[in-house]
Amino acid sequence: MARYTGPKVKLSRRVGVPIADIPKHTSKRALNPAGMHGYRGRRLRDYGLRLNEKQKLRYHYHVSEKQFRASLDRATNLRGNTGELLLQLLDRRLDNLVRRTGVVRTIWAARQVVAHGHVLVNGRKVDRPSYQVNVGDVVSFKPRIQKVLRETMETMAGHEVPGWVEFNPSELTGRIVAMPTADQIPFEVNTNLIIEFYR
């Protein structure tokens, strides 16, 4: 799988929204175009607008084009609003859940914690970042990683855990109590444009 390993702030600048909830990405300087006067290029056409919306989600959840397309196909086959179902499928990824609990700073760190086998779902080790969590699942961490996670949590004071996750910081366990909703994504995204992009 071709994976982007370059500068991450460049991705936030490219799509115009912070793809990680850390100061380096959320600062005004990071989101402004590079250069003394900023890039004052041409206005995006219809294709560019749709592509930009798709890339926002891809970069935010750190998924490849193939994984994103598979999620969209799955959402299309489910009953309901395709856009909302797509956001729900992406939000329920295990790496994203680890990020949302606030034990790591970024999606890249969350993906590493999962891939290295530090995460337990209902008491069983899961090392696939794309694993889909369901309502009622309990996510916990192996003892050897808990010290590092607690230190990271201290640096992220004020982090808000979304309403669909019930997180216990003393035991470092999270329980999924509901399905995530579209309004819990930290930036505006037009899912209709994403669906149109693939048609």
User: What pLDDT was estimated at residue 72?
Assistant: 92
State the helix-helix crossing angle for 94-101 and 107-115, rounded to 10 degrees.
120
Handedness of CA 160, 111, 108, 18 (dihedral sign): negative
User: What pLDDT was estimated at residue 29?
Assistant: 65
User: What pLDDT was estimated at residue 33?
Assistant: 66
pLDDT in tens, the chain (199 residues): 467 788 888 887 788 788 777 777 777 666 666 666 666 666 778 898 899 889 989 988 989 999 999 999 999 998 988 989 999 999 999 999 999 988 998 899 999 999 999 999 999 999 999 999 999 999 999 999 999 999 988 888 777 888 889 998 888 999 999 888 878 777 788 888 888 888 8
Is pTM beyond 0.95? Reply is no
Structure tokens at 174: 């999270």
Measured CA to CA, the distance from residue 76 to residue 195 in angstroms comes to: 9
* Domains of the chain in sequence order: 9-90+188-197 (1.10.1050.10), 94-178 (3.10.290.10)
User: What pLDDT was estimated at residue 1?
Assistant: 46
Residue 189 CA neighbour count, 13 Å, CB half: 28
Measured CA to CA, the distance from residue 165 to residue 149 in angstroms comes to: 17
Measured CA to CA, the distance from residue 110 to residue 81 in angstroms comes to: 28
User: What pLDDT was estimated at residue 115?
Assistant: 94
Local structure of 128: helix, strand or coil: coil
User: What pLDDT was estimated at residue 127?
Assistant: 92
